[in-house]
Structure 1
C-alpha cells in the first residue's frame, strides 16, 4: 500500500481508551480492515469500516481551477508537459465538476462515463484514480472536458443544483521515474481553458454538441483561474460505470407522421453511438422514447425531460455520442438527415459494473421474457445508485424501490460493491439528520422519512449478510441499522411510547389497486399498520445483527421487537386471531414478518381474501412485490403460480403480451389497445414489480439460504407444468448452485442439482423426506401421488377453464347450459370454481354426480 493518511470514521475505535497502533490491510474492493492493537500487541478490536482518505501523505499540491465568472461556456482545460526520463509508473488523480472526461495525447483516460458519478454532495465528492503509465510519452497533452451532470444541472423533484454555478477541476499527474524521483503535474494557473463544443449538458434534457460553435468567433486559450475548493474530496468508492453492452438497431421505422425512428428492440439505459458521415453544417437531432403511439414517436411520459441529443457537424468523421448524460429508451427519432443508415447506429447500455450471478431458462417463453425484463430493469436502474426510472425528469435513488427489489437483485447480480456505495451515501446523509433514513438520494428533503422506504437502512444490510455472509460488512452497516430504529423509537417515546409507528407521513401500500380508484397512489391497507409492522421488522433485523456481532445490546432490541409485536397484535388483531386489516397486503406483511396469533388462520384468511378479490392482485409496492414469495413460503405455491402465469390485468404477463422488454411502473402502463394509460407517473422501466423473480429463484429453482453466504441452503424446487421445464443456476458467494427439473410425459419428476465444494444442502423434493447432502452433483427421478401433469382441478376458477377447449367441452357435456349462464363481464362469477358451483347444484337443477364427473375429467387434462 502507498503511504496514505486515514481519517477514521469509527466511534468504536475512539472509545477504546488505550494506546493504539493501526494496521490497514485490503479487505474487499471498497473496504479496509482496521486491526487495532495495544502496545502489548494484543488485538483489541478488529472491524471493517469506511474511512475518509486524503490522496497521499502530503496534501494535494494541485489547486482547484475554474473559469472567469462571466464565461457562459462549457470549458475544456489543457496542460502540455514534457518528460525526459524513463517512467516507472504514472497515475492521474482527478475530480472535475459537475462531470468530466480526461484525455492524454488524444486517448481517453479510463473507461468511466459521467465521473465522478453521483455523490452525497453536501458531504463530499469522489476523486478518481487512473493508471496512465501507457498514455505518456516524451511530449504530452492532457485535456479535460467538463459537463454539468447531477452536481450543476437541474436535477431532482425540486430541480436543485447541488453545486455552485461554476465548473471546477482539480487534478494531479503523479509520475514515478525509474531513478526513484517523483514529479507531480497539478492543476494551477499554468493550465489553460477555452470553450468546448458543448452547448448543453443535462441529465434530463440531454446534450448539445456544436462543432461549428466557434466558427468565426474568437475562442483563445486563456489562463485558468484559481478558485476556492468546491468540495471535500474522498477516494472513489463507486464501482465502475461504463458501457456494458452493445445493441444493434433492429429496425428503421418510417412512421405515419413521416419520422425516421430507430428501434433497438429493447428498452434500456445508456446512449447511442453513430458513425454515419454527417455533412458540414448539418444539425442532427435524436429524441428518445420508450413506446410508439399510433405507430409514431412518443415520449410525453418523460414529462418535462426533453431527452434529446443535438449534434452540429463540422464535416469531420468521428464516432458521435453523448458524453455527459444518459437516456432511457427503446426508440430514437432521428431528424435532420436526408437518409438514416441504421447500420451506423449502435446502442450502448450503461450500468454499474457487476458480475451476473443468476441465470434461468424455462420451457415457457413468456416466463423467459419476464425474467429478461427484470434483468433489464435492474441494468437500466443500477447507474451508480438504484434509481426508480432512467428516462423521465426523476431518476432518483428511491429507497422504497431499492428495498423491495434488493433480494431479487442479489439473485441476479453480485451487488456487494454497488450496494456498499449506496449504503455509504445513506449513512452519510443519515448522520446529518439525527438517524432518519432518506426516502431517496441525493436527499432534497432532509429529515423526511417513511416506513418501507426508510427501512432500507435495515433491510438492505440484512440482505447483504444473508447473501454474502460477511460479519465485517454487517459490522460496518450496523450503525446505519441501529440509528434508524433508535430514531423511530425516540419519536414514539416522545408521544408516550406506544410501540407503534402510526404517526407521521407514510407512503403506505403505494400504487395499490385497492385504493379509491385503480389509478390512486395510496392503497387501502392502513398505513399505520404497515409502518408498525416494518418498525418491528427493522428492530428484529437490528437484534439479529447485534447477536451475530456479539453485541450486548442484542437482548435490548429483541425485547423492543417483542414489545412492538405485542402492540401490533393488541391494536390490529382480535384475541381469536382475526386481523382488522382485511386486505391482501394486510395478510401478506403479517405472514412475511411472523405477526399473528394463529398462522393457519391467517393463511386461510388470505386465501379467502384472494378469492373475494376474484384472484386479482390488489397490493402495491408493499403487497404485490412480496406476494408470490410469501404465498409460496406459506405453502400456497399453487396461488403464487396462478398469479405468475395470469395473462390479464393486473399481472406480470399482461405487459409481456403487450411487448414489454422491461418492468412497468403500473400494471396497466399500456392499455390493451396500445395506448399509454397516462403521463403523470408512468415509467415503462421501473423494476419494483420485478421482485416476483425472488419467488422464481427461491421456489421454482428452490434455492433458499439457510446459513449466511449460501454456505448451507435449502434446495426445495416446486415444479409447475405450466413452466414446461426449469434450468436455474446461481453463482453464490460460496460457489455455484444448479437446480433443474422436468415433468416427463409419464408423470415422473426428474431433478438435477449441483452443490458447490464446501457447502451442503437440505434437499426437499415433492412428497419425499428431506435429506442433507454434501457438495456434489445429484440426479433424482420420483413418482408422486399428485399428478403434476394436470393443468386443472375442481378448485380452478372457471375463468381459466374457459381458455381451454377440452375443458369447455367437458363443462358442456356434464353441465349443459352452465357456461351460457355465466356473464363474462361478471368477474365474481368468472372466478367461481366447479367446487363452488357444486354447492349450488339445486339452483342449476344439475345432479351432484355431474359436477363430480366434470371435476374428474377436467383433472385429467394435461399439457
Structure 2
C-alpha cells in the first residue's frame, strides 16, 4: 500500500512539473475578445502565455474548436482539431477546420508546450459568433418611412411586434442602416454602441452589426423599435456645406434570428409589415446638434401592445446587400464621464460650465420645469482672453443641442446622433440655478484598448503625453478625423499617416486602421491617386504628397506594430497603385505635383518680413515622399515574397534618389531648401549619399540653433525631427527641443493650459489672442506624433522589423537632460513590454519586462559590460543573458522573457 501511495505521489509531482508552469490566457479572434459577426472563413486566433520563469518560449500549440462548449471540453464534435503543431506562433493563427456556419457561436480553447517541455492546461473556453457571411443570407428587406418627410428631417422611427412562444436558446440581431441607428427591444436598448453602423465609403462598403439579444426577448409578445438619424450618410458633412453625399433617404435593414431549445428557428425581418412614424428627435445633425422635444415622446413605442394605429406603413427598397460587410473594428462607445469643475458667469453674462478637459462626446442634463421650456446647450473648446465664450473657430458648426421639456418631474436629456468637441458649455434657458450634479459630460470614441503608457520626471512632458492620448481619443471616432468640433471632422490622410505609429503605442489600433485602410482602397482613384480625406466626401480628384502616401505608410506602420502580414497583403495592390501613379505623372523620375499642401502649418513668424519663415520647396517634399513610398513598397514586396516587383522598384528607387540629389542638392550636400523639414526628410528617407549624411545632420542642428533651439517643422517634418537627431548623435538637441517651452514647441500649448494637442503651434498666442479662426482647432492630433519618439527613444521600446509585432523586441533607451527618470509600458499581443530608467546619484537603473514567447535585445548606455549588474549579479555570472557585444558606446545583451533590473555606474 505504501508503494502505491509513493508511486501516486511521484506521479502527481511529475504531472505538476509538466503542467501549469505556463498558462494560456487572453484569447482573441481577429484581434478582439469574443467578437460577434465574424465573416472571415478563416478567422485568426491569438493568445498570450504566462509563466513564472525566465526565457520561456512556446514550442508547440494545439487548438480545438466546436459549436458546443460542453463537447469542446470533452474533445468531441470538433469543427477543428489542429493536433499538436510544432510552432512558436501564438498570434494570428488562422482557423483551418470545417466550414463555419452563418450566425453560429463557436467555442475554442488552446494549450501549448513550452521550450522546456512543459505542457499547459487547456485554456478556459472562449468563443466567437459568425456573421451572415454572404449577401444571400440576408432575408430582411430594406425599409423606409411610408410618408413624406418634413423639411427639417426629424428622425424616423420604425416598429414591429412579434411572438416568441418557445424556450429560447439564442437570439442574434443583425442591423444596419443608411444613416445611423439606435435599436430597442421591449423598451431596452440593443447593445451599447453609439453612432452605428459607423462611417465607411457607404456606396462600396456598408457595415452591419451583430448583437446577442437573448436576454431582451420575452416568452410571448415582443416588439422591436429602431430610430434613425442623418449621420454621415445624408447629413451636413464637409466644410463646403455638402448634404446627401451618399443619398437623400434613410433606410433600415433588420434581421433577428431566434434559436429554440427544440432545434427550431425563426426570424423577424424588416419587411412590409413594419410601421413608421416620427418622435421627439425633431432635428439631428452631426455638426449642428440635436433638437429634442420631449412633448413628442411616444411612451412604450418599442414595447408590445403599443397603440400604433396612427403610425404609417413603410416602403420597401431594393438597395444593394452586396456591399454589406460585418463590423471588424471596435465600435464607438461611451467612455469616461466628467463632472463640472467650475460653473462661471462670463463678463458678457453667459452661464458657462467648465469640464476641465477638452473632450469629444456629449453632455447629459437633468432638469425640472414646465412643458415647453427650451434649454439650449452650446459647446466650445476655449474661452477668449477676457473669459468670454468663444465659438468663432467652429466656423459654421453650431455645436448646439436643444431640449424642450414635457413638464413632468425631473427630466433627463442625452443626445443620440451627434457629438461635440468641447471643454466648455454655455447653458441658456435653464430654469433655476445651474448645479454641478445636474450636468455630466461623457467621452465618445472607438472602443480601442489602451495599450501604452509613458511617464517621466517632468510634469509638463507628462501633461504633453496626456494631451496626445486625449487628442487620439477625440479624433479616433470610427475614422481618424482631423478635428472633432468645427464643420469638418474628416478622415484627413496626412494626419493619419503622421500619427499612426504613435497611435499604435497609446491604443490597440490594429482593427481601427484595418477597417479604415479598406476604405482607403475603396476610395482610391482608378489611376492610383489617393484622396485628401477618406471616406472621400470632397471628391475633388486631387492628391497631395504626404497625404496620399498614407497608402504606403499606414499599412507598413500597422504591419510593424502588429505583425499582420494579411493586412499588408490586402493593402499591397493599393500601395503599388499609388507608387505607379506617381511614376506615371513624373518626368525624368521627378515628381512635381499639381497640388501640394507642403509642410502644412510650418513655422511662420509673426513678422513674415523677417525672412525666418521655414518654407520648404513643395517639389522637394514630393520627391522625398515618392522615394519613401517606393522604399516601403519594396519592403512590403520583400515580406510578401514578390520578387519580380522587388527588382522593378529597387531599380526605380535608385533613379528617384539620383533625381533628388541632382535636382535638390549641391555637390557638397547642401539642399536648395535650408529648412529643418528639408533636411529631416532627406535624412530620414536616406535620400543623400551616405558620405554626405553627417554634414546634413550638422546643417539641421545649425538651423535649429539659428531659431534659438526651436523647431520650425509642419505636419510632414515634425514626426521625424527628433528621430533624425537621435539617429545622427544629437539626442541632446532632441531633448532640448522637447523641453522648449516657448513658441513654437510641443510644451508651449501645455504652458497655455492645453489638455489636447493643438492644430497650430500658436493656436493661442502669448498675448492670449487666437490664430486665424478659419482654421484653429484645439484638438488636432498630428503634432502629437512626438509620442512615438517618447516611446521608442526616450523609453526605448521598439520592435525588430524582421520579427514585427514585438515578437523580437529592441530596448534602447537614450537618456537625456533634464529628465531623471522615464518609463513606458506597451501591451502587445504577447503581453506587456516595460522599459523604465532612473538616474540616481551614483548609478543608473534600467527596469525591463519581456513577455513570454518573445526575446529582446537590450542596448545599455554603459561604457562596458564589466560594470553592469542584473539583479545584483555581474552579467558573466548569469545564465540566460547573452552578451552580444558593444556598439556606439553601448553594451548589447540578449534576454528572454521575464523581469530584469540592470544597474551601472552613473
Give the TM-score, by structure 2 length: 0.78
Q: What is the aligned counterpart of 2:894 among 769, 773, 780?
A: 773
Q: What is the aligned counterpart of 1:222 among 312, 316, 339?
A: 312
Deviations 1:278-315 (A, max 9, x none): 44322111100101121222211101000000000113
Q: Is the 8 A contact 1:64 1:230 kept in 2?
A: no
Structure 1 Cα separation of the partners of residues 187 and 92 of structure 2 = 31
Structure-2 residue corresponding to 1:177? 260
Structure-2 residue corresponding to 1:374? 468
Q: What is the aligned counterpart of 1:415 among 493, 509, 523?
A: 509
Q: How does 1:494-643 map to 2 (within 5 A)?
A: 497-514=587-604, 524-552=615-643, 553-597=645-689, 598-643=692-737
Q: What is the aligned counterpart of 2:531 among 408, 414, 438?
A: 438
Q: What is the aligned counterpart of 1:729 among 821, 825, 828?
A: 825
Structure 1 Cα separation of the partners of residues 239 and 91 of structure 2 = 33
Distance 1:28 1:321, change over 3 A: farther
Structure 1 Cα separation of the partners of residues 562 and 338 of structure 2 = 32
Structure 2 Cα separation of the partners of residues 380 and 126 of structure 1 = 22
Structure-2 residue corresponding to 1:846? none
Aligned: 1:68 with 2:147 = yes
Aligned: 1:147 with 2:229 = yes
Structure 1 Cα separation of the partners of residues 531 and 506 of structure 2 = 26
SS at match of 2:860: coil
The alignment yields a C-alpha RMSD, in angstroms, of 3.0
Q: State the shift of 1:638 in Å.
A: 0.8
Q: Is the 8 A contact 1:65 1:187 kept in 2?
A: no
Structure 2 Cα separation of the partners of residues 580 and 24 of structure 1 = 62
Q: Is the 8 A contact 1:204 1:305 kept in 2?
A: yes
Structure-2 residue corresponding to 1:297? 389
Structure 2 Cα separation of the partners of residues 65 and 225 of structure 1 = 5
Q: Is the 8 A contact 1:211 1:312 kept in 2?
A: yes
Q: State the shift of 1:239 in Å.
A: 2.1
Aligned: 1:698 with 2:780 = no
Q: What is the aligned counterpart of 1:99 among 180, 190, 198?
A: 180
Structure 2 Cα separation of the partners of residues 326 and 445 of structure 1 = 24
Q: Is the 8 A contact 1:6 1:53 kept in 2?
A: no
Structure 1 Cα separation of the partners of residues 838 and 90 of structure 2 = 40
Distance 1:62 1:522, change over 3 A: farther
Q: Is the 8 A contact 1:52 1:234 kept in 2?
A: no
Aligned: 1:319 with 2:412 = yes
Deviations 1:656-685 (A, max 9, x none): 111100000111101223332221100000
Query: Which segment is superposed worse, 693-702 or 124-133?
Result: 124-133
Structure 2 Cα separation of the partners of residues 152 and 708 of structure 1 = 41
Structure 2 Cα separation of the partners of residues 35 and 275 of structure 1 = 53
Structure 2 Cα separation of the partners of residues 24 and 223 of structure 1 = 47
Count of residue pairs the alignment pairs up: 749
Deviations 1:476-524 (A, max 9, x none): 22112111111111222xxxx4112123211111111158966999961
Query: Which segment is superposed worse, 51-60 or 752-761?
Result: 51-60
Unaligned runs of 5+ in 1: 9-22, 38-50, 785-863
Aligned: 1:665 with 2:759 = yes
Distance 1:198 1:2, change over 3 A: closer
Q: Is the 8 A contact 1:305 1:392 kept in 2?
A: yes
Structure 2 Cα separation of the partners of residues 158 and 582 of structure 1 = 36
Deviations 1:344-392 (A, max 9, x none): 2111111111111111122211111110000000000000000000000
Q: Is the 8 A contact 2:135 2:324 kept in 1?
A: no
Query: Which segment is superposed worse, 205-214 or 693-702?
Result: 205-214
Query: Which segment is superposed worse, 645-654 or 756-765?
Result: 756-765
Structure-2 residue corresponding to 1:674? 768
Structure 2 Cα separation of the partners of residues 529 and 522 of structure 1 = 17
Structure 2 Cα separation of the partners of residues 226 and 634 of structure 1 = 65
Q: State the shift of 1:275 in Å.
A: 3.0
Structure-2 residue corresponding to 1:834? none
Distance 1:30 1:261, change over 3 A: farther
Aligned: 1:473 with 2:567 = yes
Structure-2 residue corresponding to 1:331? 424
Structure 1 Cα separation of the partners of residues 317 and 638 of structure 2 = 50
Structure-2 residue corresponding to 1:308? 400
Structure 2 Cα separation of the partners of residues 117 and 609 of structure 1 = 45
SS at match of 1:319: strand
Give the TM-score, by structure 1 length: 0.82
Q: Is the 8 A contact 1:54 1:233 kept in 2?
A: no
Q: Is the 8 A contact 1:4 1:56 kept in 2?
A: no
Deviations 1:716-737 (A, max 9, x none): 2122342232122111233321
